[in-house]
Amino acid sequence: MQSYTLALVIALIVSPITWAGEVSRIEDHYEKTSILMADQIWRHAELGYQEENSSNLLQEFLVREDFEMQTGVEEMSTAFVATAGSGSPIIAILAEFDALPGLSQKALPYREARESGAPGHACGHHLFGSASVTAGALLARWLAKSGVDGTIKVIGTPAEEGGSGKVYLARAGVFDDVDVVLHWHPSDVNSAAPYSTTANKSGRFTFTGKAAHAASAPDQGRSALDGVEAMNYMVNLMREHIPQESRIHYVITKGGDAPNIVPEIAQVYYYVRHPDKNRVIELFDKVVSVATAAALGTETKVDFEVMHGNYPVLPNYALSKIVDKNFRLLGGVEYDPEEVKFAAQIQETFSAGKIPLGSQETVQPFKYRQSMGSTDVGDVSWLVPTAGFSAATWVPGTPGHSWQAVAAGGMSIGHKGMLRATELLFSTGKELLSRKELIEKAQQELIQQRGIDFQYSALLGDRNPPLDYRD
């Protein structure tokens, strides 16, 4: 893969652009620039709240496109709000750019890390960010060319992977004046069907005991690790008695320093999910009670810190129908012979059944689905009419958060899906700006869905952004 410098990216950005009129396809200059930005962010692979290079790259592009830039929102240095145009309606496009820990991978159809143990873009947020800012720039230029009233906001949202960056932006009022929000996500399929996710709340539970020699004076010690293990055991017993739609998972982030020392400090990190945010609150409180019991039983102490919390996505059918219609006009993506070969080799590494190659050329049926994953887009969707879609940037059958997703996202398969996402954001944005009654219909649906008495309260409370949560 070629390595491009920021100077080359900027040179492409400021080169003359031939405007082709009100079309949904991307001009060559924007297409090349978008790919270059995505590839650089793919190589940076920066974790949540640490995405300085990635965020700066996207910001520089938008500034060159005459967007006004607000940075460092809610003390998050990598968050930004870029604005172009004037008047209403105000359309916001979300941009993500954080990577995942430990999933470094080369753009190859077999497992080979670029750097052992380093992060990788296993959720495709490098493509997400690049497509969103490019679509925002295209819409801003279309507004200036057409004379249509409207404002475009591109909102850079850090730390989607467990950091709830959008929740802090929502809590700060960033979306208060926005009329509609568009977003997308990399996937192995194309779909604009309405969907929801699970609500999610997480916490770190830190147990404190007494250190002692594990052989000569074990009676003098109290093991913090015993507290963690007792908690985990009881939570696992609890699984039989919780709603089947629930998800609880954990990792032990600290287990002690040496076997011959009774562990003084141990820590476990829990995620709790359910489609209903109120059930998530109940389940999380049960986990806290289990932690308290575990500390009591092991004669240790426990403290916990809520790390993040997300609402479930509130689907908006009025908006989703518009996105779906435009997606079907554009269609999916086709692979060339080299991409078919790459995809076939990737599929050989899957443990589950294969999805046929060629499915990336179609758009999935318009049918509601319930995702068991979570996203901080959920909070935004309860405040503003929101529509999202997935574009096939990965080989069919690829699970998210896998090295296979990183590999496809670093080469032309990922690029093709990203460019299709850009075109779809552009097409949908133009239609909404031109037909304001569509936005009014979506806003009416939002009020009906959430109820007129709805009052927003973040699941993570009033805590500050956990800027060091990946340390």
pLDDT value of residue 8: 39
For 331, what's the count of Cα atoms within 13 Å in the CB-facing half-sphere? 5
The arithmetic mean of pLDDT across residues 293-318, rounded, is 97
How many residues are listed for the chain in this entry?
471
Is it the case that residue 4 has pLDDT exceeding 90?
no
Cα distance from N-terminal residue to C-terminal residue, the chain: 30
Using alpha carbons, select from 124, 253, 250, 202 the residue that is nearest to residue 376.
Answer: 202
Domains and CATH numbers, the chain: 6-196+312-450 (3.40.630.10), 199-310 (3.30.70.360)
What tokens were used for 71? 């940075």
CA 413 to chain centre: 20
Helix, strand, coil percent content, the chain, rounded in steps of 5: 40, 20, 40
pLDDT band at 471 (very low <50, low <70, confident <90, very high): confident
Percent of the chain scored above 90 by pLDDT? 91
Mean pLDDT of the chain: 93
Cβ neighbors of 467 (< 8 A, separation 6 or more) are 49, 75, 76
Residue 334 above 70 pLDDT?
yes
More confident residue, 420 or 17: 420
pLDDT at 25: 64
Share of the chain above pLDDT 70, in %: 94
Band of residue 27 on the pLDDT scale cut at 50, 70, 90: confident
Which of 50-67 are b and which e, b meaning 16 or more Cβ less than 10 Å from the residue's Cβ?
Answer: bbebbbbbbbbbbeebeb
What separation in angstroms does the CA of 51 have from each of 38, 42, 54, 116, 117? 13, 11, 5, 19, 18
Position 21 scores a pLDDT of 35
User: How far apart (Å, rounded) are the C-alpha atoms in residues 156 and 60?
Assistant: 12
Region for 290 from its dihedrals, namely left if φ exceeds 0, alpha if ψ lies in -120 to 50, beta otherwise: alpha
pLDDT at position 1 is: 35
Beta-ladder partners of 369: 195
Task: Name the DSSP class of 219.
Answer: G
Q: Is the dihedral of CA 22, 28, 33, 39 positive or negative?
A: positive
- Give the model's confidence band at 228: pLDDT under 50 very low, under 70 low, under 90 confident, else very high: very high
Q: What is the DSSP letter of 142?
A: H
Contact 307, 202 (CB under 8 A): yes
Q: How many CB atoms lie within 10 A of CB 336?
A: 11
| pLDDT tens-digit readout, 360-382 | 999 999 999 999 999 999 999 99
> Which value, to the nearest 10 degrees, does the dihedral of the CA atoms of residues 41, 47, 53, 54 take?
40
CA atoms within 13 A on the CB side of 240: 3
pLDDT of residue 32: 95
Name the pLDDT band for 353 (thresholds 50, 70, 90): low
Residue 22 predicted with pLDDT over 90 = no
pTM of the shown model: 0.90
Say what the pLDDT of residue 325 is: 97
**Residue 20: is its pLDDT beyond 50?**
no
Helix (H, G, I), strand (E, B) or coil at 95: strand
Which residue would you say has higher pLDDT here, 25 or 89? 89
d(CA 195, CA 363): 15
What confidence tier does 197 reach under pLDDT thresholds 50, 70, 90?
very high
Other beta carbons less than 10 A from residue 348's beta carbon? 10
What confidence score (pLDDT) does residue 66 get? 97
From 71, 73, 77, 64, select the one nearest 134 (Cα to Cα): 64
Q: What is the pLDDT of residue 270?
A: 98
| Cα–Cα–Cα angle for 181, 178, 68, rounded to 5 degrees | 100
Q: Return the pLDDT at 7.
A: 43
Confidence of residue 458 (pLDDT cuts 50, 70, 90): very high
* Interval 110-133: pLDDT, tens: 999 999 999 999 999 999 999 999
Q: How confident is the model at residue 29 (pLDDT cuts 50, 70, 90)?
A: confident
Tell me the C-alpha distance between 234 and 437, whole Å. Answer: 53
- pLDDT tens digit sequence for 244-284: 999 999 999 999 999 999 999 999 999 999 999 999 999 99
CB 417, CB 186: distance < 8 Å: yes
The per-residue pLDDT for 324 is: 98
Q: Mind giving me the DSSP string for 19-40?
A: ---S-SSPPHHHHHHHHHHHHH
Task: Quote the pLDDT of residue 452.
Answer: 87
**R_g over Cα of the chain:** 23
Contact in structure between 299 and 426 (CB atoms under 8 Å) = no
